[in-house]
Structure 1
Amino acid sequence: MLYGILAASSALLLAAVLTGLLRMPALRLGIVDRRWRRPMPLSGGAAVVAATCVVAAVGDRQGVTPLGPEAGRLLVAGAGVALLGLVADVLRVKARFLVGGTAVAAACVVPYEETGVLAGILAVGWIVFVALGFKALDHADGLAGTVGVVTAFGAAACAAAEVMDGLAVLLSVLAAALTGFLMHNWHPARAGLGACGALFTGFVLASAAVTTRAGQELGSNAAMLFALSALVAADVVLVVLARRLSGRSLLRPGPDHLAHRLRRLGLTPQGASVLLGVTAFGGVLVAVLVHLGWIAASGVLWVAGGVLALVVGLLLVRPRVKPAARSGVVPRPASPQATTQLRVRNG
């Protein structure tokens, strides 16, 4: 227990320090997110990945906090996904590159001997969905990190209940690293997570949950995993429906995510992140209770109902999209000569 606390504290401090140190190199190398009013350095992703991998690997090598083969394989695959995300942050690759690479990594960590082939394939799809969903959550200050911390603690509790100490330690270290990153990402953010950190976080959380639930009944697994990632699912469904209904491309960025619409209702950036973090905690709590057998799997229906109400309610909040942004054409200002001619013509 004492060594676990020491590992988590080390990950928190290391992630906080690395995020600050890597800000200027990220700005100079152009590893930034340009969706904001000013370029946002994506130093947080590399910091979270480095802190998690270094602390977990050192603890395992020293025999202080052994990971075991399952958690070790998961960490290696997660590092590969993080590298894939870093390439995406630098080169702006196409979405299918991220989907394919994440799917290959997920296929390497799913325990098919316990899940079976069909359930294993479904698990691969769910891991990819959660990883990309966390990337989509990185649209507001503090949101992806807050949801990641809440989900990591919930998944760690489930792993500890199954006496999977290696997974529990890895998830605790990840939660601590995300907390250190949040010191720089809370509004107004000075660093972002990027595809590197978001894909890594979603992949590790989803893969750990699948490993923890391996060998149990398929329906119960689906209910528990859905509740664990309910907020991620809500954001993805909201964006897909909003863009389909408005006739826009699914891959074209726009202000139609959860936090964007909550801001339109008058919430502050901090308020939106806190509210969504509390919402995520509700789903994670139900998932943990289902896993422990304290409530029936049917209790997840309340979570599904909440997700449906949230999506439908926020669909009624129209995103603030400028006309020029829809067409992709920025109107040119009229010249002084044209203005004078128009005045003469109108008398």
Structure 2
Amino acid sequence: MLYGIAATATALLLSVLLTEVLRVPALRLGILDRRRRLAVPLSGGTAVVLATGMVAGLGDRTGLAPLGTGIGRLLAAGVWLAVLGLAADVWRLRWWIPLTGTAVAAALVVPYAETGVVRGVLAVGWIVAVTTAFRGLDHADGLAGTVGTVTAFGVAACAAAELMDGIAVLAGVLAAALAGFLLHNWHPARAGLGSGGSLFAGFVVASAAVFVRAGQGMGAGAGVLFALTAVACADAVLVVLARRLSRWPLTRGRPDHLGHRLRRLGLAPRAVAVLLGGGALGGVLVGVAVHTGRMSGGAVVWVAAVAAVVVLALVRLPVTPVFRPRQRSTEASPQVTERLRVRNG
């Protein structure tokens, strides 16, 4: 208990410090998020990964908080995904490369002994979907950090209820690291998470949740997993449905996520983060209550119903066209052309 409190506090402070320290190298190397009006250095992702890995790894190595069987491999796979995500930020890798890397990492960490082969394969697909959805949440100031913090704490609570101390510490440390990063990412952001940080956070949260629910009922387990990640799932469904309806390629970026659409309705950036963070908290509370037996599995239906209403209400909302800088025309005017013709004879 005492180590858990000390670990989360340490991760929080480390994340705050590292995010600030790594801003200068990120600026000098040009590792920036250019989707916002002002480019933001992507130092937050590296800070979250380092803070989480250092604190959780130290606890496992010293024996104060052993991660347990398979959890060390989970953390290592998450760090590998973070490196792949950082490469995607720097070199603009094709969309299928991070997706394939996530699938391979998920296939290597799923506890097939508890899930079985069929459920294990389904778990791999779910981890890939949630990890990709978390990457999609990193499109606005404070959004991925807020939702990620709430979701990670929810997974930590479920793990603590099952006496899975290693997973509880890992998820709690991740939540604290994201909260520390959030201090720099709150609007107006001074640092961004990037693909490296968002892939790491989504993968660790999704994989840890699978470990917690492994070996339990498939229907109830799926409901709890959905409730814990309701906002990320709703955002992913909204994007896929909207792009299919408008015949927009799924792999081509567009400002059509939850945060974008709420901004179109007139909400301020901070209000969007608070609103979606509140939605994530509601889903997490239901998921934890169902997992611990304090609520029946039917409560998850209400979470799904609210998510469906939000998606259907926003799916037809017009989105802002993708901004493209106007290029200066290379065609000379007729007057200039005539002058050049006369000058050249």
Q: TM-score, normalised by structure 1?
A: 0.92
The residue correspondences of 1:26-105 to structure 2 (distance < 5 A) are 26-105=26-105
Matched with 1:216 is 216
Matched with 1:165 is 165
Matched with 1:232 is 232
Deviation track 1:115-159 (CA, whole Å, cap 9, x = no partner) reads 010000000000011111100000110000100110011101110
Matched with 1:343 is none
Matched with 2:154 is 154
Alpha-carbon offset, residue 215 of structure 1: 0.5
Matched with 1:145 is 145
* Cα distance change on mapping 1:248 and 1:331 into 2, 3 Å: farther
Distance 1:171 1:214 in 2: 16
Letter in 2 for 1:272: V
> Secondary structure at 1:297's aligned position in 2?
coil
Matched with 2:338 is none
Matched with 1:12 is 12
> Secondary structure at 1:141's aligned position in 2?
coil
Letter in 2 for 1:32: L
CA contact 2:42–2:193 (8 Å) conserved in 1: yes
Distance 1:336 1:99 in 2: 48
Alignment RMSD: 1.8
Distance 2:36 2:330 in 1: 24
CA contact 2:242–2:316 (8 Å) conserved in 1: no
Alpha-carbon offset, residue 331 of structure 1: 7.7
Distance 1:272 1:188 in 2: 13
Letter in 2 for 1:166: G
Letter in 1 for 2:83: L
* Cα distance change on mapping 1:334 and 1:306 into 2, 3 Å: farther
Distance 1:290 1:101 in 2: 32
Letter in 2 for 1:6: A
Distance 1:330 1:321 in 2: 17
> Secondary structure at 2:298's aligned position in 1?
helix
Matched with 1:251 is 251
Alpha-carbon offset, residue 337 of structure 1: 6.8
Deviation track 1:31-82 (CA, whole Å, cap 9, x = no partner) reads 1111112222111000000000001111222222222223222111111111
Matched with 1:118 is 118
Distance 2:80 2:73 in 1: 11
Alpha-carbon offset, residue 329 of structure 1: 7.6
Distance 2:83 2:132 in 1: 15
Matched with 1:185 is 185
Letter in 2 for 1:183: L
Distance 2:252 2:223 in 1: 31
Alpha-carbon offset, residue 188 of structure 1: 0.2
Letter in 2 for 1:82: A
Distance 1:93 1:18 in 2: 26
Alpha-carbon offset, residue 253 of structure 1: 1.5
> Secondary structure at 1:183's aligned position in 2?
helix
Deviation track 1:163-206 (CA, whole Å, cap 9, x = no partner) reads 10010011111011001100110000011100100000000000
Matched with 1:344 is none
> Secondary structure at 1:166's aligned position in 2?
helix
Deviation track 1:280-301 (CA, whole Å, cap 9, x = no partner) reads 1111111111111122222211
Matched with 1:108 is 108
* Cα distance change on mapping 1:319 and 1:13 into 2, 3 Å: same
- 139-148 vs 22-31, which moves further: 22-31
> Secondary structure at 1:304's aligned position in 2?
helix
Alpha-carbon offset, residue 14 of structure 1: 0.7
Matched, 1:134 2:134: yes
Letter in 1 for 2:152: A
Matched with 1:310 is 310
Matched with 1:299 is 299
Alpha-carbon offset, residue 302 of structure 1: 0.6
Letter in 2 for 1:139: H
Distance 2:280 2:305 in 1: 14
Alpha-carbon offset, residue 333 of structure 1: 10
Alpha-carbon offset, residue 247 of structure 1: 2.0
Matched, 1:285 2:285: yes
Distance 1:290 1:297 in 2: 6
Letter in 2 for 1:249: P
Matched, 1:265 2:256: no
Distance 1:67 1:212 in 2: 13
Distance 1:130 1:261 in 2: 20
Alpha-carbon offset, residue 334 of structure 1: 9.7
